Chains A and B, each alone.
Chain A
Amino acid sequence: MSLAIAGYFEPWWIQIVKALLIFGVALGILPLIIVYERKLLGRFQGRYGPNRVGPFGLLQPLAEIIKFATKEDVRPVTSVGPLFVLAPVISIITAVAAFALVPFGDAPHIFGTRVGLYGVDPSIGPLYVFAFGAIAFYGLMLGGWASGSKYSFLGAMRAAAQLISYEVSQGLALIGVIITAGSLSLTAIVHAQVGMWYFIPQFVGFLIFTIASFAETNRSPFDLVEADAELVAGYFTEYGGTRMVAFLFAEYLNMMVVSGIAVTLFLGGWLLPFGIHPPTWVDPFIVLAKMMVFISFFIWVRATLPRLRYDQLMSFGWKILLPLATANTLVTAIIVVAVHT
């Protein structure tokens, strides 16, 4: 018995091609996002950012990866070998798996069959994301614990506390959208936004989701998990070389996942405003463009806000964000019930 309908129409070989394509596109865009972030961050500070390696500095991430890959693979004596190796793998697998959910378009007819322009469209949409988000904790906790260093362990505890606190608000913020749309399938939610994108009726939910996303993806102003200037690197203090790159990649991939979810649930997915209906092949680019806007906002906030103190982070999460998210859910539920009866 399957727990959820996976939402597949296509034969198995198209599924494999699709999986490879989405994986390739995601990992191909990642370095660009990294260089984009650094360049945009530079602009916010009145400078250019990296512009020396390759045209416009576009090969900068490549140079960095070469540098990281040629580093010695150091492992502390006190570390727990297999788990130490496993941790970044878990992180990156969960991030990629969550990325499969982001719908880049509807399911048009290609080569005679219907092909969904997404990795998977389960009938439990957001739950799937949070499930993989929860597994991602293991990557982080194991990474911190298996390093065999007390600083890594403390970093992992901080990270876990932060992520669990904010995942509650993030999940509750989505419930408003789910109630309004009446479906958990992400494509159905996008279809429900034809009249109006959900960030207008669900503005509070959008705000909460955005703020919680900053915490979930360990971005400034909630980047206490790494806190470059204060801690060494939090839970991945003992990691170096390609393993650290895996953690960083997972982090940026999570940022893409979160922007993808935000675009799908609040910003109308592949829809355009004012009743413009472009051909189907444009849809993925619309989603990507919207994601880039969201990521730019992430970078903008990173360039602006200072880091919160740890107790401020906790009290903000539990005392302000969570009650607000709960109230948003309740009010939405009451309005939806009142309208439908």
Chain B
Amino acid sequence: MTWSPGEDQIAVQRAPAPGAAGGTYRAFGETLRGLKTTFARVVEGVHTIQYPEQKVPVYPRFRGRHKLHRFEDTGLEKCVGCSLCAAACPSDCIRVVAAENTPEHRVSAGERYAAVYEINISRCIFCGYCEVACPFDAITMGHDFEMSDYNRSDLIFTKEMLLAEPIESTPLRTEGE
């Protein structure tokens, strides 16, 4: 009994056995097909993104460089120095030293504030757990990803740096893009 493929069987297209004439014809035809394929790429155009000038827009939930926030009305820092972010951090790169707010020197809205708030960016894995852990939404992940530097000590971001608006902003992907 000979085997016959059913309708659900995909027909296997076999190339002709390489012979002198058949092989030459096949090679020539396939060469032309190849030339057509590569030429189609020229017609199609370039896909390169000229990176430093041109950036890939990031998604809104992209986890980039951290930001610390202030209240917009009062200008007080949201961070109360609770160190929950430092506790949540898997790579242990956040250092918080808290201090008491006094009526003369009020920095944050709560009882205490972060006197020192440092993130060692060179160790951060951008997991976003700090953002999740924060009870006051004081720290969020921003969109910037260009943080390379020449010096390791320059990669320890202080509170002032994290509070400041980033100089260069990363394009954000718009709806439907």
Chain B residues lying within 8 Å of A304, measured Cβ to Cβ, are 31, 34-35, 37-38
Q: In the bound complex, do residue A300 and residue B35 qualify as a contact, i.e. CB atoms below 8 Å apart?
A: yes
Residues of B23-70 whose CB lies within 8 A of A:
24, 31, 34-35, 37-39, 41-42, 44-48, 50
Q: In the bound complex, do residue B31 and residue A305 qualify as a contact, i.e. CB atoms below 8 Å apart?
A: yes
Q: Total interface residues on B, using CB and 8 Å?
A: 16
- Give a binary string over A41-73; 1 marks a CB under 8 Å from any B CB, 0 the rest: 011111110000000000000000000000000
- Give a binary string over A283-312; 1 marks a CB under 8 Å from any B CB, 0 the rest: 000000000000000001101110000000
Q: In the bound complex, do residue B24 and residue A47 qualify as a contact, i.e. CB atoms below 8 Å apart?
A: no
Chain B residues lying within 8 Å of A42, measured Cβ to Cβ, are 46
Chain A residues lying within 8 Å of B44, measured Cβ to Cβ, are 46
Interface centre among B31, B37, B38, B41 (most CB of A within 10 A): B38
Q: In the bound complex, do residue B39 and residue A300 qualify as a contact, i.e. CB atoms below 8 Å apart?
A: yes
Chain A residues lying within 8 Å of B47, measured Cβ to Cβ, are 46-47
Q: In the bound complex, do residue B35 and residue A43 qualify as a contact, i.e. CB atoms below 8 Å apart?
A: no
Residues of A157-197 whose CB lies within 8 A of B:
none
Q: Chain A contact residues: over half helix, strand or loop, or mixed?
A: helix
Q: In the bound complex, do residue B24 and residue A43 qualify as a contact, i.e. CB atoms below 8 Å apart?
A: no
In the assembled complex, A282 has its CB within 8 A of some CB on chain B: no
Chain A residues lying within 8 Å of B37, measured Cβ to Cβ, are 304
In the assembled complex, A5 has its CB within 8 A of some CB on chain B: no
Q: In the bound complex, do residue B34 and residue A44 qualify as a contact, i.e. CB atoms below 8 Å apart?
A: no
**A interface bracket (residues with beta carbon within 8 Å of B):** 10 to 19
Interface residue ranges, A against B (CB under 8 Å): 42-48, 300-301, 303-305, 319-320
Chain A residues lying within 8 Å of B42, measured Cβ to Cβ, are 43-44
Chain B residues lying within 8 Å of A44, measured Cβ to Cβ, are 38-39, 41-42
Chain A residues lying within 8 Å of B41, measured Cβ to Cβ, are 43-46
Distance A7 CA – B24 CA, assembled complex (angstroms): 42
Distance A46 CA – B38 CA, assembled complex (angstroms): 9
For residue B47, which residue of chain A has the nearest CB? A46
Chain A residues lying within 8 Å of B38, measured Cβ to Cβ, are 44, 300, 303-304
6 interchain residue pairs of minimum CB distance: A304-B34, A304-B38, A47-B48, A46-B47, A44-B38, A43-B42
Distance A46 CA – B45 CA, assembled complex (angstroms): 6
For residue A43, which residue of chain B has the nearest CB? B42
> Given A42-B46, A303-B38, A320-B24, 17 other A-B contacts at CB below 8 A?
A43-B42, A44-B39, A44-B41, A45-B41, A46-B44, A46-B45, A46-B48, A47-B46, A47-B47, A48-B48, A300-B35, A300-B38, A300-B39, A301-B35, A304-B31, A304-B37, A305-B31
Chain A residues lying within 8 Å of B35, measured Cβ to Cβ, are 300-301, 304
Distance A48 CA – B47 CA, assembled complex (angstroms): 8
Shortest beta-carbon distance from A169 to chain B in Å: 14
For residue A47, which residue of chain B has the nearest CB? B48
Q: List 22 A-B contacts (CB under 8 A).
A: A43-B41, A43-B46, A44-B39, A44-B41, A45-B41, A46-B44, A46-B45, A46-B46, A46-B47, A47-B47, A47-B48, A48-B48, A300-B35, A300-B38, A300-B39, A301-B35, A304-B31, A304-B34, A304-B35, A304-B38, A305-B31, A320-B24
Distance A236 CA – B44 CA, assembled complex (angstroms): 37
Chain B residues lying within 8 Å of A319, measured Cβ to Cβ, are 20
Chain B residues lying within 8 Å of A46, measured Cβ to Cβ, are 41, 44-48
Residues of B83-122 whose CB lies within 8 A of A:
none
Distance A304 CA – B35 CA, assembled complex (angstroms): 6
Shortest beta-carbon distance from A128 to chain B in Å: 32
Chain A residues lying within 8 Å of B20, measured Cβ to Cβ, are 319-320
Distance A235 CA – B3 CA, assembled complex (angstroms): 55
For residue A297, which residue of chain B has the nearest CB? B35
For residue B45, which residue of chain A has the nearest CB? A46
For residue A52, which residue of chain B has the nearest CB? B50
Chain A residues lying within 8 Å of B46, measured Cβ to Cβ, are 42-43, 46-48
Distance A118 CA – B31 CA, assembled complex (angstroms): 36
Q: In the bound complex, do residue A305 and residue B48 qualify as a contact, i.e. CB atoms below 8 Å apart?
A: no
Distance A301 CA – B39 CA, assembled complex (angstroms): 10
Chain B residues lying within 8 Å of A301, measured Cβ to Cβ, are 35
For residue B30, which residue of chain A has the nearest CB? A305
For residue B21, which residue of chain A has the nearest CB? A320
Distance A319 CA – B35 CA, assembled complex (angstroms): 24
Shortest beta-carbon distance from A1 to chain B in Å: 47
Shortest beta-carbon distance from A105 to chain B in Å: 31
Distance A303 CA – B31 CA, assembled complex (angstroms): 12
Shortest beta-carbon distance from B147 to chain A in Å: 23
Interface centre among A43, A300, A320 (most CB of B within 10 A): A43
Shortest beta-carbon distance from A257 to chain B in Å: 24
Chain B residues lying within 8 Å of A47, measured Cβ to Cβ, are 46-48
